[in-house]
Each structure stands twice: as structure tokens, then as C-alpha cells.
Structure 1
């Protein structure tokens, strides 16, 4: 049940900055006034975090290699972690890949079917992203059907084939370990990769048709790991306007010049740069080349990244927080969240002002996480 409350004496984050002003919620929305009064002195209230791309849920589905849990139970455990990190809307990014195992087509279907079953039990607003490996020419029709069957609203195109090694006739790095991890003969795995590499000349036409069909169905689309301005321009021409994790400043600047949305990983900010030498997210933020930050593989990084950017003076707090709230919400077409204006969804996170720890998370006016003194104040 959505709560009807009036929070007082908290610092509330609005586009102009923090204000000590009441915040009311009713019927799942931010309200003008009314509700039982709750004193939140010592706390901050910020718009709920919108995670536009995260695969941290995988560890709840298979806590150890080969130890697959019940999909539904794992997804509910993942939702608890999302809520504990202030995330009110989450896009679960699931591979559909030749790599097999937890990245394979069968596992993807299991995840989407499991989410369809448990979604009515969750408070966090859970969405899905399909990360499709474009070399899988035989899977294009299956992807169309999967997207339609599970109402997947976001598809990202990936190409993780080691083309350079395959073109040179070499065995790609980590081939044997990757094959054994998914229970496949290494030679058979190599042969499958070589066959996919050999068919790349047919990918552009098939991809153009798929992108057209998905666009007509209202699906949002993104590219992944763009390295050049030319690559980003090609994706834009195909109707793919979201650039996820561009690897170079040139690609990011091309995205900005073309009006594309740019998503970077919050862990990149927390680390102070990319772990593999790609473009630095803090530098990109300073250059105005980020529209949204994503958790990628680490949910706590979203909150930490926003405060790091603010503390470093790269953005003020409202601008930094926008990268984890209003920015990703707009890219996803979710215009009813991301700020605390009256009429918006009552999606917000309550932080201890001194420690910045998450004390409570509310999605659609319902509590998804409560801890410590905040829980006592609400119950009291």
C-alpha cells in the first residue's frame, strides 16, 4: 500500500539544490501537502536512483559457478540489494550471446520468464534490457520474438567476438577456460566463433532490418563500447541513438554532436577512471559528455559516483544526482520520475546526512527498504 506522509525538517534535493522544506507523498505520488507528519531532521531526501544498465543481479542467480538458484528467488534477492542502494527503478541487463552459460539464449529466456513471474511481488520498478550479440545471424528472428513476448523495452547491440585473433587464425585468449566454464569442448567453441566471424559481412543488412522492426515496436536501442566517431555515426543512421560506455573521447564527442544519449559506468567514476584504459568517466563528466551513469556490475557505485562528482566540484549536487536520476529516466522515456516535483512518482531515497548511508528507499510511495532510526520514526 502506498503511504500518505509529510516529511519535515529534512534536506530535500530539488533542481536548485538542497532545501529544508516539507515533502508530502500520497497515492504513490509527490503531493502538495497533507499526510501524517514525520520528523526527518538529520536526513536528506533525494530523487530515487534510476539504474539504466546493471548486471549485478547475476550473482544472486548463480552465487557460485554452476550453482544456479531458483531464478525467481534470485531476482527477489537482487531487488533487495537494489533497494538497499537507493535504486527505485532498475534495468536488468541480460546477455543473449554465443558465449553460452549465463550469457546464453536459454538462460536469457529463463531470466525474462522469471521476472515476469516475480514482478507483481516487487516494489522496485524492474525493467529489462537485452544485450544482443550481433554476429548471431541465426538468432535474429528469435530475438524479435523474445522482445515481443516479454515486452522488453531496451535492446543494446554488442559485438564481443575477438575478431583480430580470429582473422589472424589464432586461438583467442582465455578460449579454453571460457569453453570449459559453459561445458563446451574448446575446439567446438572455437569453431563456432570462427563461423560467426566468417558471417560478419551479412550482419549490417540483418541488423538494419532488426533495428527498423524494433524501432517500429517502440523499443529503445543502444550501441555498446563505441571506439570511433564513424562507428557512432553508423549506429545513429540505423536509428540507434544511445551510446553505452563509449571507449574514447572521440566517440563520446561524436555522440554529443549528433544529439545521442551517452551512458557511462558509475564504477569508472568511483575508480577514478577505466580499469582497462578506456575513456575516463570523471573527465567525460567534466566535459559535459555524460547524460546518465549506470551501475554496470556494482549497485553501490551509483550513489558514491554522484557524491564523488559533487565533492570534486565537477557538478553541484543537483547536477551530479541528475546523472543517476532524471538523466537515465529521460533516456528510458520515464518522464514521471527523477525529481521531487508534485505529481511525480513518489520515488526517493532517504540518506543519513552525516554518513550518506541509505536509510530508506521508496518506489511509487511504497517502502522497499528501511533501516535503523528511520524505520523507528516511521513506525512510531
Structure 2
């Protein structure tokens, strides 16, 4: 397969030319156009590596599309997979939450989600390469037991540790916390006060020992770990000491800089880029990009945001990112952080996971997606 008349978005430059794929692998690149009649005309679009998504909780929206409504697993998986490939994502870590969810449907469907991801990947029915990211809510007595139930599941690629107790990390602003959870659960003020007190008590009792236990088990298995919502130098130092390699959504400039200084890859949300800031009132991703403290983008809860954020950052005069630099945030850098050295870059010998996009009227539009050289969108 040859794709020609494209702008090849390479790791450090953009070259007008062609790429040749053989047996699912990039065999060669050229800075000239192919004259072969079977070559695919890219219409002067941007050909870049397929996007790599490390943290999306989008899957559960298909398994539970409405409160108290579950959906047939394979149908849900098919819809989720279709949305991801349509967003240009060719490798995804499905982030599934482990811990106490007060009877939420997301807890009830956890088995089904994990089994479906594993089985559909095994059966070859997915167009995206699906893997698992275990999100461990550490301030609960049930978390370690649930973690141990799933840690040896095939495809577990990343484990993150989070504590959403009020008054710290993501929810330093207590009013933001109340707005979020009262909207989510429909609590009145008295119920919300009870919920806050309970979450603080759980955090004080369980967060530290669970964090130590889970991180120890991950280190034994050489599974990469991510911190979540670090806000202070103390948080970041603890994360580094525990063996974290990724700092997910640091909430302050101090935490982001410290993470970078200690060698953690800083991950921020693509929706944060598109919306111009955090919905929780924390640090804006574009601020980190402007000082070179942003390594990885994640679509989080909105898959199409990933490609849009790449072009948004590349066109933002507040930073010095080129398009090649911005593309690496969603391709090369996440691949490197997980030691997926076979993908994430257009180079000879790498997987032909490719994305062809046009940029017009301030938006990115996808013309084609290939996974291991096979067109899947």
C-alpha cells in the first residue's frame, strides 16, 4: 500500500511526500509523489500516526447509557469502538474505575466491561487496539480486593491511583465539589454534608495504606503507574517515590513543574485544551504547553477532543509548539511512556497505524484511518 500526496507528520518535521506499507509495517518514506496508479491520493492532507489514548472512561457510557439502564455488552463495545476509530484513535486504554461506588451501575457492570474488552480483542472484532487502565479509588476498604481480582487480566497496561475526597487534589474548591456531586447524585444539602463527611473519613483511613499496597503489587509486576490530580510538591514526591511514571491531570503549576523535574510524563485533558481550562477550576493545559510542561494529551470523556486539541495547540500563539510537537502529545509520547516502542511515530519498521486528516475552517476532519496497514475507517 502506498499513500501519496500527503504532508507526513514526522517526529521533528513535516515532509510532503509518500509512505509505503508492507505487511502492516512502514517500509519506506519518500519526499516525492508516487506515480503508481494504485497509490492512494491523500489530497494534500496530514498523515500522522494513529492517536494513542491512555485514559478514557467513555466505554461505560455505552454500557450504561442512562441511569439504571444497561446495554448488551457486544453492542456497547461495537459502538464505543466505532466512536474511537472515528476520532482517529488506534490504540486505547479503557479506564475503568475500581472502588466503592455506593451502588452505582458502573460498579455492577465492571465485570461485563472488562470481559467484553478482553474477549472482543481476542476475537479480532475491534478496529482499535483495546487495552485496560485500572483506575483505583484508594479511599475505600474494597479497593485493594477489587484490584487484586483484576490485576492479572490480559491487557492491563496502566494503573492509576486517585482520591476524590473533598477539599484536596481535584476538589480543593469545595463549591465545585458540591456542584459536581449534587448534580451527579441529586443530593440535598443535608445529604451532601453527610456524603462529604463520609468521603473525608474514608480518605483518612484508607488512602495511604491502599496506595502503598497497590503500588507495591504493580512494581512487582512491572506495570506502569500514574498519579492522579497531584496538587502539591508533597503529592508529587510521594508519587515519584512510589514508582509513578505518569502524572495525570496535575491541578497546579507547582505540581506539574515538579512532576516534570522528577521525570514523570505530565498528562492533561484534551477537553481542557478545547474549553480553555479545567471544569474544576484547576490549571489550564495551555498554560503548561506554554512553558513546555505538557507531555501527553488524553481525550478523557470526549474522544473527538484529542485530534482537535492537537491542532488547537499547534495553532495557539501562546506556545511554541509546531504541529509535529503537538502530534507527539497524542502519539509518540504516550507510546514511550508505556514502552510501546512499535508505534506512535511514522518511521521505517514501525506499525502502520496511520491517520489522514484535513484541516479546514478551524477544524480537523478525518479522511482515513489504518491499523497495521488495513483501512478501518
Q: TM-score, with normalisation over the residues of structure 2?
A: 0.86
* CA gap 1:149/1:46 in 2 versus in 1, 3 angstroms: closer
Report whether the alignment pairs 1:303 with 2:311.
no
**Residue ranges of structure 2 left out of the alignment (5+ in a row):** 169-176
Give the superposed CA RMSD. Answer: 2.7
Cα deviation code 1:13-54 (max 9, x no counterpart)? 112322111101111111127994222233221111111111
Moved more, 49-58 or 276-285: 49-58
Query: How many angstroms apart in 1 are the aligned matches of 2:101 and 2:48?
Result: 39
> Of 148, 155, 158, which aligns to 1:144?
148
Cα drift, residue 294 of structure 1: 0.2
- Per the TM alignment, residue 257 of structure 1 is displaced from its structure 2 partner at its CA by 1.0
1:376 counterpart residue number: none
- Alignment match, 2:260: 256
- 1:323 is matched with which residue? 329
Report the secondary structure of 1:67's partner residue.
coil
Displacement of 1:202 in angstroms is 4.9
Distance 1:246 1:191, change over 3 A: closer
Change (3 A) 1:267 1:163: closer
Work out the number of aligned pairs and report it. 354
Does residue 368 of the first structure (1) align with residue 376 of the second (2)?
Answer: yes
Q: 2:358 aligns with which of 320, 341, 352?
A: 352
1:15 aligns with 2:11: yes
* CA distance in structure 2 between the aligned counterparts of 1:178 and 1:43, rounded to whole angstroms: 42
> More displaced, 103-112 or 304-313?
103-112
State the alpha-carbon separation in 2 of the partners of residues 152 and 253 from structure 1: 28
Q: Deviations over 1:343-373 (max 9, x none)?
A: 100011011354630011111222221xxxx
> Quick one: which of 201, 222, 228 aligns to 1:197?
201
User: 1:121 aligns to what SS in structure 2?
Assistant: coil
The answer to whether the aligner puts 1:238 opposite 2:242 as a matched pair is yes
Gapped runs of 5+ residues in structure 1?
165-171, 370-380
Match of 1:168 in 2: none
Cα distance in structure 1, aligned partners of 2:102 and 2:88: 32
The 1:105/1:219 distance shift into structure 2, 3 A limit, reads farther
Which aligned pairs between 1:166-245 and structure 2 lie closer than 5 A?
173=178, 194=198, 197-198=201-202, 200-245=204-249
How far has the Cα of 1:7 moved from its partner? 1.3
**Distance in 2 between residues matched to 1:249 and 1:176, nearest whole Å:** 28
Please say if residues 29 and 344 of structure 1, whose CA atoms lie closer than 8 Å, have aligned partners that are also in contact: yes
- Going from structure 1 to structure 2, the CA distance change for 1:194 and 1:173 (only over 3 Å counts) comes to same
| 1:106-159 alpha-carbon deviations (Å, 9 max, x no partner) | 322221011112112112111111111101233313312211134422111111
For the structure 1 residues 141 and 57, does the alpha-carbon distance in structure 2 shift closer, same or farther, using more than 3 Å as the test? Answer: closer
Please state if 1:6 is matched with 2:5: no
